[in-house]
Amino acid sequence: MPKHNLITISQALRSYTPSFGSDKELKVITSSLSTNTGEKAKTALTGSPPFAELVFHSIAICIIILITYLNITNRFWQEVQESGPVSDNGFHFTQSSELHGLQFAAKLHELFMQASLSAMVLYYAHRLLVGTKGVPFGLIDFPYNSNSLGMLRHWRFWQTGFFSTQYLSFATLLLVVCILSVIVGPSSAILVIPSPGWWHNRNPFNGQNMTTYFLANTTDIWPSTFTLSAFDPAFVSASLCEGVPTDPIIGCPLQGFPEIISWFLGYALGSQSDNFTVSEVISNAYRSVSSTVQNASYAYQMNNLSATTSYTTSLTDRMVLSLGTFWNYVQRSNVGSIGEVSKPRLRVKSDIDTYQPLVHVACQSYLYDGTQTNITFLPSINAWNAGSYIDEPWLLDGQSEILDNLPSITPRFSFYKDTRVNSSTSLLTLAIIPVLSSNSTDHAVQGSDILSCSIDARWAANEITYQPKDFGSILTNLTDPSIFENVNESSPQFTINEYGISNRPIDLELDWAGLLNYNWTGDTANDYEYNGYIPATTMTGLLFIPLVNASVGTNISTFQISNDTSMDYYKTIESTIATLLGIVITDAISRTSSCAPVPYLDINQTYNSLLDLTDLTSAPTTQYATELNKPGDFILSYDVERYGYGYGLNSSTSKAALTALLFYSVMVILHVCYVVMLGLRGRYQRTTAWGDIHGLVALAKNSAPTDSLYGTSAGVDEKKTWALKVRVREVGCEQLDLVFDDDPRLYGGSIRVGKKYR
């Protein structure tokens, strides 16, 4: 055996340096001065399997496998309960207490993962400590607090771990384990505790085919041209739409006129916003007509002209009818298990293309100055910036009849059409609004504000959802048109692609538009006013609503909106007219497009027993069996969702949490495979000592002092001190020492497997 010196036996021998002698002599000295503490000799190194460590690994991984399966398969847990017990098996558990229980389970899972990571990093730290490489003095304590980010603030961690290639892999392991220790707990909580939201309802119709069929293709339901010839005589004739607007016909453009009047009255008085809901008369389902005005600071400049713009959109009546009547049938017939769901939601399947109108209106105005000049209509090219369109304004002759005898005390209105090839507009309108003006002597006089508006209507792809038990309104991803407010500031083509907007404007013909401006007086000689002051058409009637007598005792009328004082008066008029036109045109398109075949439900999946969803009294029929489901015909099918708690990767947070847990799992599995491989080769060894910092302190206290640590009793500053290699070596027959670089025992006296040390 080699000879040793610098062995500290007790505090009394700290300064004593024994002469070189045999191991036998050293043992005699040690025995004579040792104190009986009751501590028995212990094994420091063993080759037995790490059963406790494997238990931690196994439990943690099994839980991760379970919650990964639940979240990947989007499992529904239970509906949201307001109060009361969820189950009663001798115990009363509220939903809140069950959620708290899952939170406790997530915390236990975190503790298992923390123990697993700690065991893993200590294994490799001890392997270095008893091996030939040793551990840098600056890293020796970090395996014991690797679950704290505080270790990262120590410069010695980076200095001794990452500035030396010899220990780079060990320092990287410490860094990864430190980060994982912090994030695996929250990650487990995110995935173990179910989240509230909408979850897929599996087999809601008990295997029944609930597909809705139409005897029409997509072009029939969402046409690119609106004209009188497009009306389906079997559904409604154009002549029927030329009636009194207070008695509207389903499918007519002006069917929503009474509702628009009601909304505009409230809007003019300041009690209504720029959107309202419309009830479909057969299904009683609702759709929203929503509009937004471009920020007042935005102006499209051309020839020193600016415009106020609006975007308006709404679901078509045809889709509202289809979803509403489908749900009514499901409820009436008690189909499947959907009736048991307290908060269901129908969603049109993502592989089915549906559309809704998106109407862009740009209005500019100028105050009539006594001269009849040509009126400029801006192109709507600014909405989508398609380079193939004509970018020159369309001009209305200044000698047109509508401009005669101005100013006027009643509003005037007319539709126009830009028939040039590649026109960027669907329709043009001219509105003349009575306003209060003044003459050169500042006396109040009647004035007229002339507004030219360009309308660009297009089809936009949507995603339809329907919550029938909540508020009955059918919503889409385009319900809020404010998403298009900054389309001119970003890439217009990107917006077109993002929302599936049609490349060309919808062609709104004048004969169709004429149904919106119906002359109800019968006085065809005057399309603007009746008996000198009564509006003669439906559109001038709408414009008449905000007019008030500006001065008592005078015959001066002016346009006044009570709910907007934030903009210039004439900009307020532009904003109001742009909003009104957007809503009128959007609602008309939504209603007219319903002039398409009704939806049919196939009852027995053989196409020979069809149910007209719009007729509550009819029985299944075979009338259209041979025509149904032809190539190109439009069909509707639905996914059913239910609101409640469930598991799923529905957010970036849950995906990040799963990524963290899977990364942890891969690390643990690789570690276990490495340990198993060493065991199969008979080379597996693990320490049974120094599992905590106290054991390491006891080892250091019983080890011989080293000159390398001279001057460090009050702290360590030098890089070379932190870089000292530290190993555990056998000293004598039963003693282990913590030795440093300057100790001649650094490369000898390896610990033996199964041997006991004091």
Whole-number Å distance between alpha carbons of 522 and 747:
114
pLDDT at residue number 36: 63
* Selection from 649, 677, 558 nearest residue 194 by Cα: 649
Is 263 part of any domain?
Answer: yes
Q: Which two tokens stand for residue 676?
A: 């198993």
CB 170 within 8 A of CB 161: yes
Whole-number Å distance between alpha carbons of 259 and 275:
12
**What residue type is assigned to position 376 of the chain?**
T
* Selection from 8, 63, 42, 19 nearest residue 664 by Cα: 63
Distances (CA, A) of 272 to 218, 260, 268, 277, 561: 35, 12, 8, 12, 11
- Strand ranges (E), 540-632: 547-549, 557-559, 600-602, 610-612
Domain boundary among 692, 722, 747: 692
Q: How far does CA 400 lie from the centroid of its chain?
A: 52
What is the residue whose two structure tokens read 């916003």?
273
Q: How far does CA 114 lie from the centroid of its chain?
A: 32
Q: Which two tokens stand for residue 447?
A: 């004035």
pLDDT at residue number 657: 96
Is 471 part of any domain?
Answer: yes
| Residues 190 and 234 occupy one common structural domain | no
| Residues 367 and 400 occupy one common structural domain | yes
Q: Which residues pair with 726 in a beta bridge?
A: 135
pLDDT at residue number 57: 94
* Selection from 406, 413, 400 nearest residue 527 by Cα: 413
Domain count, the chain: 2
Is 437 part of any domain?
Answer: yes
Domain boundary among 671, 692, 713: 692
Which H helix or E strand runs over 444? strand 444-462
| Residues 426 and 290 occupy one common structural domain | yes
Q: Residue 24, CB half-sphere, CA atoms under 13 Å: how many? A: 0
| Residues 407 and 502 occupy one common structural domain | yes
Dihedral-angle region of residue 749 (phi above 0 means left; psi in -120 to 50 means alpha; beta otherwise): left
- What pTM, to 2 d.p., does this model score? 0.75
Fill in the DSSP letter of residue 140.
T
| Residues 665 and 523 occupy one common structural domain | no
Is 21 part of any domain?
Answer: no
Q: Which two tokens stand for residue 606?
A: 């053989």
| Residues 162 and 265 occupy one common structural domain | no
* Selection from 315, 341, 240 nearest residue 474 by Cα: 315
* Selection from 149, 151, 139, 142 nearest residue 185 by Cα: 149
CB 205 within 8 A of CB 490: no
* Selection from 352, 266, 576, 301 nearest residue 449 by Cα: 576
Query: How many other CB atoms are there within 10 angstroms of residue 218's CB atom?
Result: 15
CA dihedral sign of residues 496, 502, 506, 507:
positive
| Residues 180 and 329 occupy one common structural domain | no
Is 697 part of any domain?
Answer: no
| Residues 122 and 241 occupy one common structural domain | no
CB 559 within 8 A of CB 281: no
Whole-number Å distance between alpha carbons of 407 and 405:
6
Q: By three-state DSSP, how is residue 144 classified?
A: helix
Please classify residue 203 by burial: count the beta carbons closer than 10 Å to its beta carbon, then call 0-12 exposed, 13-18 middle and 19+ buried: exposed
Q: Which two tokens stand for residue 132?
A: 């030939």
pLDDT at residue number 389: 61
**What residue type is assigned to position 655 of the chain?**
K
Structural domain of residue 175, as residue ranges?
39-83+99-194+652-692
Which of 174-190 are b and which e, b meaning 16 or more Cβ less than 10 Å from the residue's Cβ?
bbbbbebbebbbebbbb
pLDDT at residue number 103: 94
Return averaged pLDDT per consecutive 10 residues of the chain, 758 residues in all: 39 37 42 62 87 93 96 92 58 81 95 94 90 86 82 82 83 91 95 93 83 84 85 56 62 84 86 82 88 61 68 92 90 82 90 93 89 84 57 84 88 91 88 84 83 94 91 86 69 78 90 85 57 72 78 67 65 91 95 72 66 69 57 85 93 95 96 93 88 86 84 85 88 84 71 86
Cα dihedral 323, 327, 333, 339, rounded to 10, equals 150
Q: Which two tokens stand for residue 349?
A: 């399947």
| Residues 672 and 588 occupy one common structural domain | no
| Residues 316 and 453 occupy one common structural domain | yes
| Residues 241 and 161 occupy one common structural domain | no
Q: Which two tokens stand for residue 213?
A: 């069929």
Is 752 part of any domain?
Answer: no
Is 367 part of any domain?
Answer: yes
* Selection from 121, 131, 194, 188 nearest residue 161 by Cα: 121
pLDDT at residue number 426: 92
* Selection from 527, 512, 540, 502 nearest residue 417 by Cα: 512
Helices (H), 303-452: 317-333, 381-384
Residues written for the chain: 758
Domain boundary among 663, 692, 721: 692
What is the residue whose two structure tokens read 């080892």?
699
CB 719 within 8 A of CB 700: no
Q: By three-state DSSP, how is residue 72 classified?
A: helix
Is 756 part of any domain?
Answer: no
Q: Which two tokens stand for residue 60?
A: 């943690």
Q: Residue 704, CB half-sphere, CA atoms under 13 Å: how many? A: 27
Fill in the DSSP letter of residue 744.
G
CB 314 within 8 A of CB 475: no
| Residues 228 and 137 occupy one common structural domain | no
